[in-house]
Amino acid sequence: MQKYLALKAYRKEWFEVNNGNIRTDLVLEANELIKQHAVKEMLQERGEPPGVDVETTGDEDIKITRVRVTSPEGEAAIGKPMGNYITLEVPRLKENDQELYERTCKALAKELAGVINLGEKSTVLVVGLGNWNVTPDALGPKVVSRMMVTRHLLEYVPDQIDSGVRPVCAVAPGVLGITGIETGEIVKGIVERVKPDLIIAIDALASRKTERVSTTIQIADTGISPGSGVGNKRMQLSKETLGIPVIAIGVPTVVDAATVANDTLDLLIDAMIKEAPEGTEFYKMLKSINRDEKYALIQEVLKPYVGSLIVTPKEIDELIDKMARVVANGLNIALHQGITLDDVNRYIN
């Protein structure tokens, strides 16, 4: 209990130092932060916070990290609910590599199949969160537009549907600013009417590292809080609020301006350290720079001028389209037995 309270107090202090908000939705990054900054005696010998199990597989093209939060201590350490979090990192996904694109779709489908524990006739509701009028936030609606929706076909023309096809329905409920209704309220009403066995929610996320934008996919079986990564608190979509399991799939599409400035300075400092003669006063000064204090200072300096500025790559239109295809293809393969990537490409443009 003392270790749990210490971790919780430390995490609270760390968030307060950073203006009360670490702008990330990725559990992988939350775990990296606490490992980097927590008091060493609080950590286990293997280097992870207590109650946090981490497993890494894959290769240099597709790295898969599975984080399992197993206790209140782990929950307090990284600030995420107990459950399973799977992250696929594909650094070259932005490149026009068809083979890597197909491998990523299949890898995502395989990971999803491992967390979707349903019968063949169980109904799945896919919810595309986000604002279709704002490109970095349009991932969810774009995924929904590429889903193989089959619930109506199984109801009205069941004889014409192959075995192994699961009843799937999908909706893009919009955002509060468009509908005037909380997304959670809309989804709850659909759940009460349709009575699905599982919800899969897709949303755009925020990251702390620019290189993870549109190259990373996170799967979580703990639900989702729409907008939390950029400071917007909406009704949570989870088993506690909706009464059925919720799997969340997210792709980071934005970072905050302070992160971009911080990453740029880090690269500059590292380059100068390589060039500076070792042992000189300039070299010692560069090595002594506190990276955490630098990030807090950048936030403090930028706030009067740009506020909580969120940035996204200039090619975000293309990136969102590609990531929507990856997520939708992975879902279609995972949800329907016998469906392959060739089938998906044949019937969905």
Sequential DSSP letters for 313-327: -TTHHHHHHHHHHHH
What pLDDT, in 10s, does the model give residues 33-87?
A: 665 554 444 444 445 667 889 999 989 999 999 999 998 888 887 778 899 999 9
Query: Taking the mean position of all CA atoms in its chain, how far away is CA 56?
Result: 17
Spell out the per-residue pLDDT of the chain, length 349, in tens: 444 444 444 444 444 434 444 556 777 776 666 655 544 444 444 456 678 899 999 899 999 999 999 988 888 877 788 999 999 999 999 998 999 999 999 999 999 999 998 887 899 999 999 999 999 999 999 999 999 999 998 889 988 877 788 999 999 999 888 899 999 999 999 999 999 999 999 999 988 888 889 999 999 999 987 655 455 566 789 999 999 999 999 999 998 888 888 888 888 998 999 989 988 999 889 888 887 788 788 888 888 877 778 889 899 999 999 999 999 999 999 999 888 888 777 667 5
Q: Please give the pLDDT value at position 36.
A: 55
Q: Please give the pLDDT value at position 13.
A: 43
Sequential DSSP letters for 287-301: HT--HHHHHHHHHHH
| 8 Å CB contact between 153 and 160 | yes
How much is the pTM? 0.81
Site of tokens 């992975």 = 330
What pLDDT, in 10s, does the model give residues 191-211?
A: 999 999 999 999 999 888 888
CA–CA separation, 247 and 255 (whole Å): 23
**β-strand 198-206 against 310-311: which pairing, if any?**
unpaired
CA–CA separation, 132 and 144 (whole Å): 11
| Residue ranges covered by each domain of the chain | 2-253+320-347, 258-310
| Closest by Cα among 37, 15, 31 to 75 | 31
Question: Is it true that domain 2-253+320-347 has CATH number 2.60.40.10?
Answer: no
Q: Which residues contact 226 (CB under 8 A, 6 or more apart)?
A: 129, 130, 183, 184, 203, 232, 234, 235, 237
Q: Which residues contact 323 (CB under 8 A, 6 or more apart)?
A: 93, 139, 214, 217, 251, 253
Q: Please give the pLDDT value at position 347.
A: 65
At 98, which amino acid appears? Q
Query: Taking the mean position of all CA atoms in its chain, how far away is CA 187?
Result: 20
Instruction: Spell 156-183 as b/e; 16+ CB within 10 A means b.
Output: eeeeeeeeebbbbbbbbbbbbeeeeeeb
Residue 324 vs residues 9, 27, 34, 204, 319: alpha-carbon distances, Å: 39, 21, 31, 10, 8
